[in-house]
């Protein structure tokens, strides 16, 4: 069983569209994250949720809206997609607070905006 | 804001040579973690260091945490082609609670 699963793995869409990426973890972790990895492999934290509550919200455009229906799920909705949103988005989870112990990453979603 | 810098950005070595990547934080860290990302893959946790001056080994990999808890290093002895990938350090401060990743060092190993 995959510990942290994201869907879809690949997403190609046109500018201006709205899209969602889903993430689920079956590890029983309390904390989940979204990271953005650009073409230079830089991993930047976007959001962090602890037990469905938003605790970290980095400087991310309002077009990005995370939603956590329960502590096992953290979805990412993106409105009005722009070319610069093209990147690999990783969902991750960890068991204790924000980065207290190791983070388990999903396989990533490669988003390409054309 | 808090920054975690990692050097070098790229390293090409001949198989059998040693490799080291260095990580420096602008603030004191409560712990530091290391991850490896294979090409096309996702970051995978390698190790966590918590104590000042701590040294841990995993086979050919040696991890160090500086005395001031602001820097760390990963050293690979006698690299193999399976070591290819990007190595990230990630630091956490006790006040922000955020896990901040360094820029990563991409290792290429020539057989």
CATH for the stretch A4-113: 2.60.40.10
* B97 with A103: Cβ contact below 8 A: no
Percent of chain A predicted with pLDDT > 70: 94
The pLDDT value recorded for residue B108 is: 97
pLDDT tens, B43-72? 999 999 999 999 999 999 999 999 999 999
- Closest CB to B97 among A41, A97, A108: A97
- Token pair listed for A50: 């602890």
The pLDDT value recorded for residue A12 is: 98
Distance between CA B106 and CA A34 in Å, rounded?
Answer: 22
User: How far is the alpha carbon of B2 from chain A, nearest alpha carbon, in Å?
Assistant: 12
Answer yes or no: is pLDDT of A56 > 90. no
User: How far is the alpha carbon of B108 from chain A, nearest alpha carbon, in Å?
Assistant: 15
- In total, the C-beta contacts within 8 angstroms joining chain A to chain B are 58
Residue A59 CB partners (closer than 8 Å, separation 6+): none
- Overall number of domains in chain B: 1
The pLDDT value recorded for residue A43 is: 93
- Domain containing residue B21: 13-26+40-92
Domain of B54, CATH number, reads 2.60.40.10
pLDDT tens, B78-107? 999 999 999 999 998 766 667 889 999 999
The pLDDT value recorded for residue B35 is: 98
């Amino acid at each position: 069983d995959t510990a942290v699963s994201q869907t879809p793995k690949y997403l190609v869409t046109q500018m201006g569209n709205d899209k969602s990426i889903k993430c689920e973890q079956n590890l029983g972790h309390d904390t989940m994250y979204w990271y953005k990895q650009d073409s230079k492999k830089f991993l930047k934290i976007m959001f962090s949720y602890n037990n469905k509550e938003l605790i970290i919200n980095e400087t991310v455009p309002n077009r990005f809206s995370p939603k956590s229906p329960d502590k096992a799920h953290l979805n990412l909705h993106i409105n009005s997609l722009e070319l610069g949103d093209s990147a690999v988005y990783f969902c991750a989870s960890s068991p204790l607070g924000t980065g207290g112990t190791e983070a388990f990453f999903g396989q990533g979603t490669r988003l390409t905006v054309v | 804001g808090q920054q975690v810098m990692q050097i070098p950005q790229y390293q090409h070595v001949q198989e059998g040579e040693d490799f080291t990547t260095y990580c420096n934080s602008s603030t004191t860290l409560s712990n530091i973690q290391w991850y490896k990302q294979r090409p096309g893959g996702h970051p995978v946790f390698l190790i966590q260091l918590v104590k000042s001056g701590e040294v841990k080994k995993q086979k050919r990999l040696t991890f160090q945490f500086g005395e001031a808890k602001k820097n760390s290093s990963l050293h690979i002895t006698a690299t193999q082609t399976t070591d290819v990938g990007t190595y990230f350090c990630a630091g956490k401060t006790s006040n922000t609670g955020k896990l901040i990743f360094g820029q990563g060092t991409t290792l290429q190993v020539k057989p």
